[in-house]
Amino acid sequence: MIFHKNRCKLLSLIFLLNVFSFIHAQEDTHQRFTLMGLGDSITEGGDTFSSYLFPLWEKLFTGGYLVDFIGPQKQACRIGELHHAGYSGKTVEYLESVIDSLYREYPADIVLLHAGHNHFVEENPIPEMIKAYRSIIGKIKTIRPDAIILLAQVIESGKLPKYSYIPDLNKEIAKLVASYDNPQIKLVNQAAGFDWKEDTVADKVHPNTQGASKMAQSWYHALEKILPVPSQKFYPEIVPYKIVDGDTLSMHIFKPQPSRNNSLSPVIVYFFGGGWKLGTPLQFYRECAYYASLGMTAVTVDYRIEFLHHTTPDESLDDARDAICFLREQADAWHIDPDRIAASGASAGGYLAAAAGLEECNDKACSSPNLLVLNYAVLERIKTLKNHPPPILFLVGSADHLVPLDAVSNFQQKVQQQNGLFELHLFEGAQHPIFLYRKDPDANFYKVRNLTDIFLKQYGYLH
């Protein structure tokens, strides 16, 4: 009987190891694509209007697609910048004149072509525009026969009569795509569902935030039909936790399956990096999905940053504290354990987690986590540490130029002087960050995960 039980345990262990190896292999073998947005100012974006590029990146990342945006131009956004080939004020004929050299330098797997403005109706521009579209497609296909081209029927405009030719242009674009009968050349109707009265800024031409999101959704639906099904998609529940200065801040929640014994779920909450200037909660979607699959409630938090809100790290920390308090307030409703909240983050987000756990805050005592997992947390802003801080796992690269090892050593001594437990792991040769979340998971990604697993198990957050 004992032999039989041990054999069952061994077989179960082998099965689990095989499952984890399969998952690891699946994550490593995602196919990666390059994508180039080609067009005019509606692709490029501007100071007073939005582009579809960033909301499209968000949808692709959430959908599990590994896509790199390429091109000679750069668009600033909350994750830093996205590359593209959008040229403000230029016509499709201009794009035709540069596409040969442009595409040879940036031979993207997928081209999104949206260009139809910057003419006047009096020019009777449609025949020459269709000729230019056809030439663009031909030149791209000559350079790279396997390229996928999504040609858009362009969004309509309230700037009339200048752009009154657009409805007729869109009819001709549809005919052009149909004439190819080629599965690698697809029509995307960007005009459908786009209402310039609601979806543009005051100039009645360029998309506002809502309009850019609609364009991104149209591109995404088209890409879903042609790209291989990804091995993992993300399905967070996005819940508002705070309204400040008219802005709604949300947390992205990955919930576990209900436990068999109806026990309360431990929590891990992540704060993204980016110097309190940039960043997105999507940075920790992989980690959240993973820990939710292991029975934890995993949360990645949006907070105020300089790029969007013109704020400082103080406002970011205030949001982080409020997010942790909000989690405790929802403990009964979400069936989570308010005494098992682990806070984590990377770089600037690591500081937010650390400050919430290590600095006294009498007016927000509910904001102190019970455990800290700090990934190369920026340390210079942390001053006075409270006594008996929560246990800390600190992960940092030996070549990190923003978090030098002497600063980590001094921090460790301060924690220990306050009767805190501090576990340090160095990643030899790694810099800042240890790995790039927008790239394929590498060995350091899995090492971070493994060390975090062990730490969480040590304190009863994982079984």
What is the tens place of the pLDDT at every residue in 97-126?
999 999 999 999 999 999 999 999 999 999
The H or E element spanning position 395 is: strand 392-397
Residue 438, pLDDT > 60, answer: yes
- Indicate the pLDDT class of residue 28, thresholds 50, 70 and 90: very low
Mean pLDDT of 141-165: 98
Q: What is the pLDDT of residues 242-255, one digit of tens each?
A: 999 999 999 999 99
Question: Beta strand 110-114 with 32-39: parallel, antiparallel or unpaired?
Answer: parallel
| Angle at the Cα of 293 from the Cα atoms of 289 and 294, rounded to 5 degrees | 125
The Cα–Cα gap between 387 and 390 comes to 9
The H or E element spanning position 300 is: strand 297-301
The Cα–Cα gap between 273 and 445 comes to 15
- Indicate the pLDDT class of residue 262, thresholds 50, 70 and 90: confident
Q: What is the pLDDT of residues 9-19, one digit of tens each?
A: 433 333 333 33
- Indicate the pLDDT class of residue 223, thresholds 50, 70 and 90: very high
Helix axes 53-62, 209-226, angle to 10 degrees: 50
pLDDT (0 to 100) of residue 16: 35
| Secondary-structure percent of the chain, ordered helix, strand, coil, rounded to 5 | 45, 20, 35
Mean pLDDT of 347-376: 95
The residue that leads in pLDDT, 85 or 360, is 85
Question: Beta strand 185-189 with 148-153: parallel, antiparallel or unpaired?
Answer: parallel
Do the beta carbons of residue 60 and residue 223 sit within 8 Å? yes
**Cα separation values, 40 from 90, 95, 101, 166, 235, Å:** 6, 9, 17, 15, 33
For residue 2, the one-letter residue type is: I
Q: What is the pLDDT of residues 400-418, one digit of tens each?
A: 999 999 999 999 999 999 9
- Indicate the pLDDT class of residue 362, thresholds 50, 70 and 90: confident
Half-sphere exposure of 416 (CA within 13 A, CB side): 10
Mean pLDDT of 322-332: 98
Encoded tokens for 340: 């098992």
Note the residue count of the chain: 463
Closest CA to 368 of 385, 381, 380: 385
Q: Is the pTM of this model over 0.85?
A: yes
Q: What is the pLDDT of residues 267-293, one digit of tens each?
A: 999 999 999 999 999 999 999 999 999
pLDDT (0 to 100) of residue 30: 62
Closest CA to 302 of 274, 328, 336, 330: 274
Mean pLDDT of 86-92: 98
The H or E element spanning position 141 is: helix 126-143
- Indicate the pLDDT class of residue 127, thresholds 50, 70 and 90: very high
16-51 core/surface letters (b: 16 or more CB in 10 A; e: else): eeeeeeeeeeebeebeebbbbbbbbbbbbbeeebbb
Residue 370, pLDDT > 50, answer: yes
Domains of the chain: 32-226 (3.40.50.1110), 237-458 (3.40.50.1820)
Encoded tokens for 428: 């030899």
pLDDT (0 to 100) of residue 25: 38
Question: Beta strand 265-271 with 297-301: parallel, antiparallel or unpaired?
Answer: parallel
- Indicate the pLDDT class of residue 352, thresholds 50, 70 and 90: very high
